[in-house]
Amino acid sequence: MVQQSADAADRAILRTLVADPTATGVEISERTGLARNTVRTRLNRYETESGLLSFEHRIAPGFLGYPLRAFVTTTVIQRELDSVASALASIPEVLEVSGVAGGADLIILIVARDTEDLYRVAGAILDIPGIVRTETGLVMRELVPYRAAQLLGEDEPARRRRAG
């Protein structure tokens, strides 16, 4: 299915959800001036077209006892990429794996309970057949957290207030 781009109505709905993630369809309709059916249809479309990320993105690993985060850059044997990806998906501490261009083939986001656990997880990754080399970088501090709201732009009233 081809994913559509967000229009002005989508952006208004999403701005409302950023401000209040628990807003109901009725509340979104009232705040945006959109019809309830429009809001309901759009929310359903976001689910079917992957317009919204899963709820998992809101769960802080530190809250679950995994305060350490690290990025593992990995070089792999390309013909074994699918089996490497499957093996990585079987490691619970692997949160995300991205294929990249450049000096590495994969960037893997992992979490750990402590440094000993980090050593174990990094070793489990290195033990996967098809992985040639890894380099682990511990996250010391998050400087800019994951964000996307700034991509929504301003709503029309805010734009008018700023211009006026």
Q: Is the pLDDT reported for residue 160 higher than 60?
A: no
> What pLDDT is stored for residue 163 in this prediction?
63
Task: Choose among 137, 8, 113, 10: nearest CA to 63.
Answer: 113
Q: In what order do the strands lie in the sheet with 131-138?
A: 94-99, 106-112, 68-76, 131-138
Rounded to an integer, the average pLDDT of 93-100 is: 97
Q: Are strands 68-76 and 94-99 parallel, antiparallel or unpaired?
A: unpaired
> What pLDDT is stored for residue 6 in this prediction?
85
> What pLDDT is stored for residue 162 in this prediction?
57
Q: What is the DSSP letter of 103?
A: S
State the sign of the Cα–Cα–Cα–Cα dihedral 107, 113, 114, 115: negative
pTM for this entry: 0.79
The phi and psi torsions of 98 (rounded to 5 degrees) equal -125, 130
User: Is 18 exposed, middle or buried (CB count within 10 Å of its CB: 0-12, 13-18, 19+)?
Assistant: middle
Please give the Cα distance from 108 to 88 (Å, whole number).
9
- Find out whether 69 and 109 touch, Cβ atoms under 8 Å: yes
Site of tokens 């998906």: 89
What pLDDT band is residue 42 in, cutting at 50, 70 and 90?
A: very high
> What pLDDT is stored for residue 58 in this prediction?
83
Structure tokens at 2: 């081809």
> What pLDDT is stored for residue 1 in this prediction?
42
Q: Is the pLDDT reported for residue 5 higher than 70?
A: yes
Please give the Cα distance from 31 to 130 (Å, whole number).
52
What pLDDT band is residue 2 in, cutting at 50, 70 and 90?
A: very low
Site of tokens 């967000």: 6
Q: Which residue has the higher pLDDT, 26 or 155?
A: 26
Which domains can be identified in the chain, with CATH numbers?
A: 8-52 (1.10.10.10), 58-138 (3.30.70.920)
> What pLDDT is stored for residue 156 in this prediction?
61
Q: Is the pLDDT reported for residue 153 higher than 70?
A: yes
Please give the Cα distance from 90 to 57 (Å, whole number).
19
Render pLDDT for 112-150 as a digit per residue (tens, 0 to 9): 999 999 999 999 999 999 999 999 999 999 999 888 889
